[in-house]
Amino acid sequence: MKHKLILYLAPVLILAVCAMPLAAQAQWATGHTEHDWRISVGANSYGLLQEEVYTIDLVHGTRITTIYFGSRTWTTTRFRADDIAALSLLIVGAVGVLSLKKLLYGKRVHDQPSNS
């Protein structure tokens, strides 16, 4: 009776022992969200999400910043979220100032009377 029980349980125990490293391996990394600067409009997200993922220890993690634009992820980078936000605001501000300058000063040049 004991031999039959051992014969039936042996494959189950072998499978359980073989599956243990796989289950432990799937849980080797941890992480947390540092910055979530996203705006959701319906099913679409716009903005930045910065996460820090720890793979070896809880001291030296890897920062991953994902840029969301609409229904898809635009890009994933290792730059910090505040650096990307500052660069984006700088670009948008420069384009705005140059466009405003062109609109305001462009009309003055065309409105001057000709000397001919």
pLDDT tens-digit series, residues 45-63? 888 888 888 877 667 778 8
Mean pLDDT of 18-43: 72
Quick check: 66 and 48 in contact, CB under 8 A?
Answer: yes
The reported pTM is 0.50
Instruction: Please report the beta strands in the chain, taking only residues with DSSP state E, as ranges in sequence order.
Output: 30-41, 44-54, 62-70, 72-77
- Average pLDDT taken over every residue of the chain: 77
Maximum mean pLDDT: which of 3-17, 52-66, 84-98: 84-98
pLDDT band at 78; cut points 50, 70, 90: confident
Judged by DSSP in three states, 59 sits in coil
Q: Which residues contact 56 (CB under 8 A, 6 or more apart)?
A: none
Who has greater pLDDT, 53 or 23?
53
Residue 84 to residue 55: CA distance in whole angstroms: 24
